[in-house]
Amino acid sequence: MRILVTGGTGFIGKPLVHRLLLRGDDVTVLSRRPTSVQAIFGEAAEAWSSLSAWTPDRAFDAVINLAGEPIIDRPWTAARKQVLRDSRIGITNQLITAMENAAQKPAVFLSGSAIGIYGDTGSVDITEQAPAAEDFGARLCDEWEQAALPAEALGVRVCLLRTGLVLHADGGMLKKMQLPFKLGLGSRLGDGRQIMSWIHRHDYLNALLFLLDHPDCRGAFNLTAPMPVSNRAFTAELARSLQRKAFLVTPEWALKPVLGERSLLLFGGQRALPAALLARGFAFRFQTLADALESAGVN
């Protein structure tokens, strides 16, 4: 397949591009730093610095849109919120325009989103049928998805990737958590009741390839493992896997003034279940957190 990938040098994009290349796909990576693409993949992948390179006569079979600035790293000032929108919705709008202009449309468009679209839903089981919430993170995801859906009118199959907490030791949340836990400073967040819907990166990549290759898959998909856990249980399991104790508690009142609206990302949660994936026969390799952490390189 001829595939265009945005966000192809990140925590998820980099191993995804490697997987695509290994199976023989022709991959083009859109990046603000094309030299990074070349440094990582050499001549195996084509590097673009701008979507202006997608001329009408250039054909792709699939587009995978993983671009997006980190959402929790910096305060949500008005300027930062605009950066978050532009890095998600802006690039998606550009991709739709490129598809409209293309003489041959892609067959499928896998476009990023997150389970944050549901807001804080407590311990209630959430499937892809649940509505979007109204907090900033939820609205951002909803707008991101709405920006991708016009591809359907072009005859392009659209899959919306509602991503949970992707686990692997070489990046993401887990990489940031390892050091404090190793130092005995790991802690649960607040009362620890908030639900963490996670997925091992291996299963995440397999799910992307599954959606890519199965023409009957379209619409929203929760990319989460079937067995979410509470923050309390996650904290205990991570500490156990590192052979440490985690007695500390980070109270919500201590972080909320610092994080502001972002505190919902830590002290809220969703019990998001992968109903759509399971209904279509996708099989998870890592269903329990203990197995996922053992395999994710936590040590």
- The CATH number that applies at residue 186 is 3.40.50.720
Q: What is the pLDDT of residues 232-270, one digit of tens each?
A: 999 999 999 998 888 899 999 898 998 999 999 999 999
Are 186 and 293 a contacting pair, CB within 8 Å? Answer: no
What are the tokens at 14? 């980099």
Burial degree of 136 (CB within 10 A; 0-12, 13-18, 19+) = middle
Are 250 and 190 a contacting pair, CB within 8 Å? Answer: yes
pTM reported for the whole predicted model: 0.96
Number of domains in the chain: 1
Q: What is the pLDDT of residues 9-44, one digit of tens each?
A: 999 999 999 999 999 999 999 998 889 999 999 999
Domain enclosing residue 242, as ranges: 2-295
CA distance 284 to 228: 13
Residues with Cβ within 8 Å of residue 179, at least 6 apart in sequence: none
For residue 297, pLDDT beyond 80: no
Least confident of 99-113, 204-218, 235-249, 264-278: 235-249
CA distance 180 to 206: 30
What pLDDT is stored for residue 299 in this prediction?
A: 61
CA distances from 54 to 103, 105, 221 (A): 11, 12, 28
Least confident of 46-50, 160-164, 178-182, 257-261: 178-182
